[in-house]
């Protein structure tokens, strides 16, 4: 078995070029931009992205495949196809709009976060009711503690937004909470980012190299340490939650405005979002 790493940005550009060879592209297509927006995708995903773009171009009667077709291809590959048929009530739609607005505002406010590329309340794939797509400008190999904390705050912002606006919460944040908890746990057990536990690696992952993923974890610590880990994870989540709450509570008017636009149009792209954010100056300073 030979394990091949996922391609880096240069690799993705070359893979894209291979798959683009026998197709016609409009002048606005920029392979370098596509490569930058697709971190984590492997060769097969990139081939799929080009195919999706080609299908969309055909459906839209485009003579050549445009950058817009390919951008939609990126989203389909990363988040699954749009599913306009799913029936969602007006109230649910409103909750989803505020939930996604929460993610997006925090992603814009917190430093070091990947830029918001698109906010949508059109369901995608199997589970996502709405989504806020943040795309990195480049591949990242190192991430700081404060950036990880910010990432968790952004994940929690969907739930926080629901809470602020509706004084009630829904099941919609399940995946966010899972990812937030996983990140906090990694900080404590693998990255030495908890003062209480110090610079130790807790738990041993048994890696099945030929499967390319972890299958189990060996516990190599005591019950007492397990308890401390849980406490530390909770402390991180609580801090991030408070941060998210502060960011959003002080921007209630902005939330209403963006959620309103989202409800009306269902999709907000990067430029529009930027414009909506800049129209408004924040009322209180944030850390
Ligand atoms: Zn969410």
C-alpha closest to that of 131 among 262, 276, 279:
262
pLDDT at 24: 94
C-alpha 40/C-alpha 176 separation (Å) is: 19
SS3 133: strand
Question: Which residues make beta-bridge pairs with 132?
Answer: 119
Compute the distance from residue 102 Cα to the ligand 1 centre, in Å. 8
pLDDT tens, per residue, the chain with 287 residues: 887 778 888 899 999 999 999 899 999 999 998 988 887 788 999 999 999 999 999 999 999 999 999 998 988 887 776 666 556 778 888 999 999 999 999 999 999 898 998 898 877 765 567 888 887 777 777 889 999 999 999 999 999 999 999 998 888 888 899 999 999 999 999 999 988 888 888 887 655 555 555 555 677 788 899 999 999 999 999 999 999 999 999 999 999 999 999 998 888 999 999 999 998 555 545 44
Question: Which residues make beta-bridge pairs with 124?
Answer: 82, 128
pLDDT at 220: 79
pLDDT at 2: 82
């297509």: which residue's tokens? 29
First and final CA of the chain: distance in angstroms? 48
Compute the distance from residue 143 Cα to the ligand 1 centre, in Å. 22
User: Does the annotation count 100 as an active-site position?
Assistant: yes
Compute the distance from residue 197 Cα to the ligand 1 centre, in Å. 30
Compute the distance from residue 57 Cα to the ligand 1 centre, in Å. 30
- Contact present, 243 and 111 (Cβ < 8 Å): no
Compute the distance from residue 247 Cα to the ligand 1 centre, in Å. 16
pLDDT at 87: 65
């910010």: which residue's tokens? 150
Q: From the candidates 13, 52, 75, 100, which is the catalytic residue?
A: 100
Compute the distance from residue 263 Cα to the ligand 1 centre, in Å. 16
Compute the distance from residue 286 Cα to the ligand 1 centre, in Å. 22
pLDDT at 126: 57
pLDDT at 85: 58
Compute the distance from residue 221 Cα to the ligand 1 centre, in Å. 33
C-alpha closest to that of 259 among 89, 123, 138, 104:
104
């Amino acid at each position: 078995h030979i394990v091949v790493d996922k391609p880096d940005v240069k690799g993705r550009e070359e893979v894209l070029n291979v798959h683009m060879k026998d197709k016609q592209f409009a002048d606005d297509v920029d392979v370098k931009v596509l490569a930058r927006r697709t971190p984590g995708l492997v060769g097969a995903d990139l081939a799929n992205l080009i195919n999706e773009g080609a299908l969309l171009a055909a459906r839209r009667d485009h003579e050549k495949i445009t950058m817009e077709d390919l951008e939609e291809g990126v989203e389909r590959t990363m988040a699954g196809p749009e599913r306009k048929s799913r029936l969602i009530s007006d109230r649910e739609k409103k909750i989803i709009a505020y939930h996604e607005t929460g993610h997006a505002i925090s992603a814009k406010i917190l430093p070091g976060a990947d830029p918001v590329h698109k906010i949508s309340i059109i369901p995608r794939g199997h589970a996502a009711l709405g989504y806020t797509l943040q795309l990195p400008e480049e591949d990242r190999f190192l991430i700081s503690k404060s950036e990880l904390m910010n990432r968790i705050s952004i994940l929690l912002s969907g739930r926080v937004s629901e809470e602020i606006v509706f004084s009630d919460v829904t099941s919609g944040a399940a995946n966010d909470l899972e990812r937030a908890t996983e990140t906090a746990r990694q900080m404590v057990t693998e990255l030495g980012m908890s003062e209480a536990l110090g610079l130790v690696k807790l738990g041993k992952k048994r890696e099945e190299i030929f499967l390319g993923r972890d299958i189990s974890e060996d516990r190599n610590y005591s019950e007492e340490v397990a308890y401390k880990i849980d406490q530390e994870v909770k402390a991180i989540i609580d801090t991030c939650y408070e941060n998210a709450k502060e960011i959003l509570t002080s921007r209630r008017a902005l939330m209403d405005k963006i959620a309103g636009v989202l409800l009306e149009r269902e999709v907000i792209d990067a430029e529009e979002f930027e414009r909506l954010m800049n129209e408004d100056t924040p009322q209180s300073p944030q850390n």
